[in-house]
Structure 1
Amino acid sequence: MTATGHPHLRSYDSGSEPVADHRAPSDCPVCGDHLVVTRLGCASCGTELAGIFAPCEFCALSAAELDMLRVFLAARGNLRELEKHLGVSYPTARARFTDLLQKMGLADPAPEPERPTAPGREQILAEVATGALTPAEAVRLLG
């Protein structure tokens, strides 16, 4: 049990609302289909609501993706600020943000046409060497 009286919840140090220690999965571990929220509960009084509730597109994002979205919003949509925060080239920052939009269902999954501003092979390999780019992202960019 935690300070909230619930085994899976903890409170912020400031005493604000309790938050879950774990994120709910978005896909079924048995068949892989999307899960729906069917029960909500109050950690304070034990009240429970049952039904089918609208999904949260932000809940399926990883901590790194949420951080990237927060930086983008705080910068009022400035991709150059996102580029600086991530420590990657502008095309890489744009590609990562496009991937995030696709994951949220806000962008077409169709690949963008090649642009003359795309990073070169040497730049991509340098970003992999510094850890700013994953090998999988590099393979996708080198296509």
Structure 2
Amino acid sequence: MNREVLGKCPVCGGDTSITKIRCSKCKTTIEGDFGLCKFCRLTPEQKEFIDVFIRCRGNIKEIEKELGISYPTVKNKIEDVVMALGHKVDDKVYESIDRKEILDRLNNGEISVDEALELLKQ
């Protein structure tokens, strides 16, 4: 049974580290203090979202359908993962991308004028 490494301590929420690695083939064991990759520190929900994001090739409309969530919720989940991976979010760039995507979706007939106006207000 394979279990994933816990990236966060279930007691205090602090970062965890690996102290022992063992080869399943030759049984060699290496001890030390090994850091985890930044993806290991994502929550299970964030990892599932990233899996859906990749499977849908970043197409927000497809992600909405797959997860049964709204456009703003998809964008919030993306921002959550971006921050969890340690990246800063430039609000000005983020807002301009949002507006362009909303207008593109309106132009493509994916959303109504009323839906576009509501999204632009957020």
Pick the TM interval, shorter chain: 0.5 to 0.7
Identical pairs, percent: 32
Give the corresponding residue for 2:107: none
Q: Could you tell me how far 1:64 is from its partner in structure 2?
A: 2.7
Normalising by structure 1, what TM-score? 0.54
User: What is the CA deviation profile of residues 116-143 of structure 1, one whole-angstrom value per residue up to 9, with x for unaligned ones?
Assistant: 64498xxxxxxxxxxxxxxxxxxxx9xx
- Would you tell me which structure has more helix in proportion to its own residues? 2
Q: Which residue of 2 aligns with 1:42?
A: 23
Would you say 1:94 and 2:60 are equivalent positions? Answer: no
Match of 1:70 in 2: 51
Query: What one-letter code is carried by the residue in structure 2 that aligns with 1:92?
Result: T
TM norm structure 2: 0.61
2:40 aligned counterpart, secondary structure: coil
Matches within 5 A, 1:100-111: 100-108=81-89
What residue ranges of structure 2 are gaps of 5+ in the alignment? 100-116
Q: Which has the higher contact order (CA 8 A, sep 6+)?
A: 2
Alpha-carbon contact 2:22-2:30 (below 8 Å) kept: yes
Structure 1 residue 61 displacement after superposition: 2.4
Paired residues, number: 102
Deviation string 1:42-78 (CA, Å, 9 cap, x unpaired) is 2343211123334212222233322211121122221
